Copies of this chain bind each other. A is one copy, B any other.
């Protein structure tokens, strides 16, 4: 062990500026107070008696031993010692003096435990640094208040979730393998060569199959804080490895899963935030689309999409007539509160351009009550009767702007849904508070379609979520007649407009599962023969859910990116900027795995230098 010597002055004689030095100080006083033992005990098993941040006037007179980094020092008389818990002022006795502040530490002995080179950036949250620099020196960035807060809150919240699941509700924490095999449609799975030529493991995107097999195995309340992997190439705010709270139960229905999750979030919610109110409201997928134009509505604010088709049945405006004459055609609008006050003409223009570019939708700004108006030939042909109808139906107030569009229901809603969020951002950037920053608005979205038209072949079907999702019991017969109309027993959990979880009741009938996989989805059932066989052996009814932990913690802490709630994240290109992963390997290290690199045609230099055969990528 290291020795606790009195080497204080060696520490201070090092000629550095704002550099942190690691010291230990052991200190004296006159009055000893007993303080109640705290839970948890941060100073057990080590030589320190207290953390820097916990000292208060109740400690006056106690002899304490502290360990930390020097944050500031002045004239070798005062210094501020820092640890994860806070800062404390330390006085090196020169003469008796007592500066301001509740307490200070009088040094008896101190030891310099390590020196410190000039840091690439100061450990102060207000010092701006690029994210690349932060990731390169992640071990220094972790010293910031914000990163310490985020990671400690994450740990505490996960611990509370475990208590709720294990201790209160009898769930079993079971680790499932990450060296698995390719799943059907698993194109985003990392591959791992094995020592058998041509045989590969894959890193699974979730423990989906394993958790269902655990239900067949009678482990009827499973959970895992599961590491999952998804190779999506370069995507902003995605990580190649991520973590989900993975849950599965037997003999359960949707209501049961929803109560479980509501209780879980309520129990684990940080005490410094407003408590979670349960039950969470829920919308069907159809309602979410109609009201918010998305399956993950941000319900912290209004500005819902209103169907105003009935007002325009007799309109003479051409494109409205057109839209209403088609099947699923509708006129839709959102109300932008105080839009005439906060939005500039060029904002409206860019909003209209956005809708035209991304949704091929014409959007009209209408100013029903405004004194000022902007030229809009079509808007001017809206009749007085329609204007007053709009005011009544949409509860228009002075200065509000209405954004109106027409077209096929889903397309019109999607466009307005996106504009709703864009407008909210714009209004907030201009100073209107639409979304309470302390508000956490949870929402269940249910009754999703079970299938979607296949992207590359719209005649075929693909699973809207995954092929193990059970159909809605009311739609069971449709499965054999009009499968595209079947609703599923899938449910999504949405928080402030982000999807933070999703799950479903699963198919537990082997015949039904075979029918879905082979007949409807045209999948190769051989890849899933173990799962189908397992369902044959008395699989119980079961269902589950997975919560995206990184995203959830990101929302709870208000972090700008999931990289701020992960200790060592990858860059958006999937690089570890600190250690330089992924990295090159000498060819002989690939030999045991029977693979070689296929160098792309344009990297001749690399190829020849490594003596690899040339194989152009097709």
Chain A residues within 8 Å of B, Cβ to Cβ? 1-3, 19-22, 24, 39-42, 44-48, 67, 69, 83-84, 113-117, 119, 137-143, 147-148, 151-152, 154-156, 158-159, 162-163, 166-182, 187, 190-203, 209-210, 213-214, 216-221, 227, 229, 231, 233, 240-241, 243, 249-257, 259-260, 473, 505, 508-509, 530, 534-541, 566-568, 570, 574, 576, 578-585, 589-591, 593-600, 603, 606, 610, 613, 615, 617-618
B158, B171, B217, B613: the one contacting A143 at CB < 8 Å is B217
Asked if A198 and B594 sit within 8 Å, CB to CB, the answer is no
Q: How many copies does the complex hold?
A: 2
Asked if A538 and B22 sit within 8 Å, CB to CB, the answer is yes
State in angstroms the CA–CA spacing of A134 and B240 once bound together: 34
Asked if A176 and B567 sit within 8 Å, CB to CB, the answer is yes
A349 to chain B, nearest CB (A): 40
* Chain B residues with CB below 8 A from A187, complex form: 589
A-B contact pairs, 18 of them (CB 8 A): A1-B505, A22-B540, A40-B166, A113-B251, A139-B537, A143-B217, A148-B219, A151-B174, A151-B219, A158-B173, A159-B167, A179-B240, A181-B579, A182-B589, A194-B574, A197-B606, A591-B598, A591-B618
A617 to chain B, nearest CB (A): 6
Closest chain B residue, CB of each to CB of A535: B114
State in angstroms the CA–CA spacing of A148 and B221 once bound together: 12
* Chain B residues with CB below 8 A from A217, complex form: 138-143, 147, 567
State in angstroms the CA–CA spacing of A19 and B536 once bound together: 12
Asked if A197 and B583 sit within 8 Å, CB to CB, the answer is no
* Chain B residues with CB below 8 A from A48, complex form: 251
Known interface pairs A2-B541, A114-B509, A192-B192; 5 further A-B residue pairs with C-beta atoms within 8 A, sorted by A's residue number = A44-B168, A67-B251, A84-B218, A140-B217, A191-B585
* Chain B residues with CB below 8 A from A600, complex form: 197, 594
* Chain B residues with CB below 8 A from A143, complex form: 217-218
Asked if A583 and B181 sit within 8 Å, CB to CB, the answer is yes
Asked if A201 and B24 sit within 8 Å, CB to CB, the answer is no
The 4 closest A-B pairs by CB, nearest first: A142-B217, A1-B253, A116-B538, A181-B581
* Chain B residues with CB below 8 A from A580, complex form: 181, 530
Asked if B168 and A41 sit within 8 Å, CB to CB, the answer is yes
> Which has the most chain B C-beta neighbours within 10 Å: A20, A175, A214, A599?
A175
Asked if B24 and A251 sit within 8 Å, CB to CB, the answer is yes
* Chain B residues with CB below 8 A from A576, complex form: 177, 179-181
Asked if B42 and A169 sit within 8 Å, CB to CB, the answer is yes
* Chain B residues with CB below 8 A from A176, complex form: 567-568
B45, B115, B139, B192: the one contacting A216 at CB < 8 Å is B139
State in angstroms the CA–CA spacing of A166 and B151 once bound together: 13
B45, B151, B214, B594: the one contacting A257 at CB < 8 Å is B45
* Chain B residues with CB below 8 A from A42, complex form: 169-170, 221
Asked if B243 and A168 sit within 8 Å, CB to CB, the answer is no
Asked if B191 and A174 sit within 8 Å, CB to CB, the answer is no
Asked if B195 and A534 sit within 8 Å, CB to CB, the answer is no
Closest chain B residue, CB of each to CB of A168: B40
Asked if B590 and A191 sit within 8 Å, CB to CB, the answer is yes
